[in-house]
Every structure is written in C-alpha cells, then in structure tokens.
Amino acid sequence: MKSNFGFTCLLFVFLILCVDSNAKKDFRDGFIISNNNDTILGQVLYRINELNFKSCLFKKDDLVKDYLPSEIIGFGYKNDKFYTSKIVDSTFVQTLISGELSLYRHKANYYVQKKGGTIFKLENNVIHDTVNDIERIYFNTKWRGIMAVLTYDCIPNSNVLVQQVRFDELDLSKFVIKYNDCKSLKYIDFKKLRPWYTINLGLSVGLINSSLYIHRPEGQFLYFNDQYKSLDPTYGLVFDISLPRISEKLSIQSEFYYYKTAYSNLKLIDGPSPITYNTNIGFTSISIPVSAKFSFRKGKVPFYLQSGIVYDNHLKATTNLQTKILNNSGLTIMPDKIAFKINNYQFGIWAGIGIIKKIGKTDISANLRFYQMTNLSESHLITANPSRISTSIIIYLNKQ
C-alpha cells in the first residue's frame, strides 16, 4: 500500500499549491444602492449566498468596506445576482424576479410580494401533529394557497396550476414569470443570462496504473503473489453537467471509459520437486465513474476536485493458471485451470484532482485520480482487491 500513501501525499501537496495560488479574492464589477437611493458603481466580492445574506464587501478606488443590511438598500453584480435589504429585517435576501409579482430567496425560504403589497413568506417545512392519538407528519403546503390567491386575477385556474409547482427555485420562478407575462408588464429575471444547466462533452485518453492485492488463507492458493501490477491505456467520453444558476463551482460529471487490464506473474516454489506457477489475470471493461466536481477557476492555477462512485462492467474476463513440476521423472506440465472466477461487475469509490487550461475557447484538463474497488473474486476464500491510479487528458468539445 506504499504507492497509495505516496499518491495521497502528492495529492495533498498539489492541493495546497493550488489553493495558495487561488487565494486572491474574487471581486467582480457591481454596485450598491445607498439608503438615499443612489447607485454607486464599483466591485463586489463574489461569495456564496450564506455570506451575502449577512453583508456586502464593496470595493471602490482600492478602498474596501463591509456594508450591513441596515446601511444600504441593496447590492448586485453586473448582469448577475441582486440582493435587497427591504424584505426581511436585518438581512439581505436574493432577488430572483422583480416585477408586478416579485420573488425573493433567503436560505431555504422564499418570499413573494405584489408591487407595493404585503410580503408573504413561503415555507415548505414538515409539520407534526396528533389527531385522536394518531401522530401525523406532513409538509406545510400553505404556500400553494398564497401563490394561487396572488395570481388568480390573471390566471383564473391558478389554484389548479399551482398544484403542479414544486417548492424549488426553478418552478417558483417559472410560475412568477408566467403571472408577469400574463399581466403584460415588464419584469427583471436576474438570472436570465445564466442557463439552468449546460452539458459539456469531452474526449479523454490516459493511463491506468492498477494494483491487485490478493488475500488468501494461510498455506492455500500458493500460486498467488500478494500483489499484481499493470499499466494500461484508457479511452473515454466525458459528460460534464454544470448548474450555473445554483453554483459556479459545482458540476456533475459522468464518464464512460474503455480499458483492458492484464496481470501476470511467474512464481517458483523450491523443494525436492520445484513447482513453477504462471498466473494470468485479464479483463476488458467499461468503467462508468460519476462524481461531484468542484472547480476553482480564479487564480494562477485553475483546478478542480472530484469525488464519487464508479461502476465497472467486465465485458470479458479470464484467469489462467499454468503449473509445471520438476521431479525425478522429469518435467510434468499440468493441465491449465482457472485461477479464480471473476465477478462480472464491481463498484468502487474514487477521488481526484485536476488542472484546467483554456486554449482559445476550448478547455483542456489534466487529472490525477485514485480508485478503490470491491472484491474482484467470486470466491469467498480469496479476496482480490483492485485499486488504481489514473492520469488522463480531457479535451472538452463545447466552446466555453
């Protein structure tokens, strides 16, 4: 397992270097609206919602100030998110839609307001109550009634349509936009320039350095070595599904790889009648890794971290054992036999790190990964634990 320890150390050092090179704060063109309703242009630190709900870090002329909700009406990024302090006391909320009917978000809750009207909080919390000594657990769906009442003046069957709306940003935004379109009044969709998802197709080529660790009962299956190694090429397709409206950094990556692995070993057992064992283990496989991918594109070295699960289907798998015995009668060659039966499929977990380089409008990445797989052997007497370290180049075909 020394190679695994070395890989872990390498990964850790590489991560520290990448994080250090990306330590520069991400200020982006934006603005604040003062309590006097003046718009002041500058740069706003780009942060996750949880931090933006608390304050706004604003930079102008190299001076940085942290504004609290009581100090400004709101702030935003150019062609991107906008936050206001006029919906919930002592906090900013994210404005999703601004119009005749507006939609806001704060953590897991949403707020709606007709222009100049009452602000309604939409909740989908779990309710526990007891009726006739029977405990009931159900979701609070009063928010559907609120949405129906607010929109019935232009959507007559709103009480029916709202039953099809899910309590998430996508569905609530669509329903609010539907109402504003119905009223034929102007509205602002602050995330309009950001698609809900994008799919980026890539081609991959790389190498797999795999190890097979054999665990066997004492004194049995002597023909096995404790460890086998193989270095093999791999080719594949990559589908990177990003969610720009939810997170700039998060994407879900699904991959399909084709590879062949061949382990072999010659083992000699000395004695009055020396025995030579020649073991061959090979399989042709399709590997399907699925991962959560976190990309950090700002800084000198853009990089990403990945972690997920993997499914391997062995299209063809064989094991072969050749035995030769040298005794006083000469050399005896035993009939070939199966060393052990291989499972048709395996599952595993994996993690990796990669760097990204943009050439023109094309992203090219190089990555380093570690996989730990389940038992390769069907037999309960033998445990064959595969692990592998891979490196590959991915060329993303979609223009970024």
Domain boundaries, the chain: 102-193, 195-396
CATH match for 195-396 among 2.30.110.10, 2.40.160.20, 3.30.70.20, 3.30.930.10: 2.40.160.20
Residues 6+ apart with CB under 8 A from 148: 158, 159, 162
Handedness of CA 114, 118, 119, 123 (dihedral sign): negative
- For the chain, give percent helix, strand, coil, nearest 5: 15, 55, 30
Contact status, residue 240 vs residue 199, Cβ threshold 8 Å: yes
What's the pTM?
A: 0.70
Token pair of 337 as six digits: 């036999």
**DSSP code for 185:** -
Kindly provide the b/e burial profile for residues 326-364, where b requires at least 16 CB atoms within 10 angstroms of the residue's own CB.
Answer: eeeeeeeeeeeeebbebbeebebebbbbbebeeeeeebe
Q: Which of 27, 88, 78, 23 is nearest to 54 (CA)?
A: 88
Q: Which residues of the chain have pLDDT under 50?
A: 1-3, 5, 12, 16-23
What is the distance between the alpha carbons of residues 264 and 246, in angstroms, rounded to a whole number?
48
User: Which two three-digit tokens encode residue 316?
Assistant: 């063809």
Both tokens of residue 20?
A: 């250090």
For residue 202, which of 398, 12, 13, 52 has the smallest C-alpha distance? 398
Q: How far apart (Å, rounded) are the C-alpha atoms in residues 269 and 290?
A: 43
Q: What are phi and psi of 163, to 5 degrees?
A: -65, -20
CA 167 – CA 140 distance, rounded (Å): 11
Q: What is the DSSP letter of 85?
A: S
Predicted local confidence at residue 109, as pLDDT: 92
By the 8 A CB rule, do 175 and 196 touch?
no
- Interatomic CA distance for residues 108 and 344, integer angstroms: 43
Residue reference for tokens 């069907």:
378
Half-sphere exposure in the Cβ direction for 216 (13 Å, CA): 16
| Exposure letters 92-130 (e unless 16+ CB within 10 A, then b) | bbbbbbbbbbbbbbbeebbbbbbeeeeebebebeeeeee
Look at residue 4 and give its three-state secondary structure.
helix
Answer whether 42's CB lies under 8 Å from 33's CB.
Answer: no
Distance CA 333, CA 258 (A): 36
Q: Tell me: the pLDDT tens digits for 288-303?
A: 999 999 998 776 788 9
**Bridge partners of residue 337, in order along the sequence:** 321
- How many Å separate Cα 266 from the centre of its chain? 42
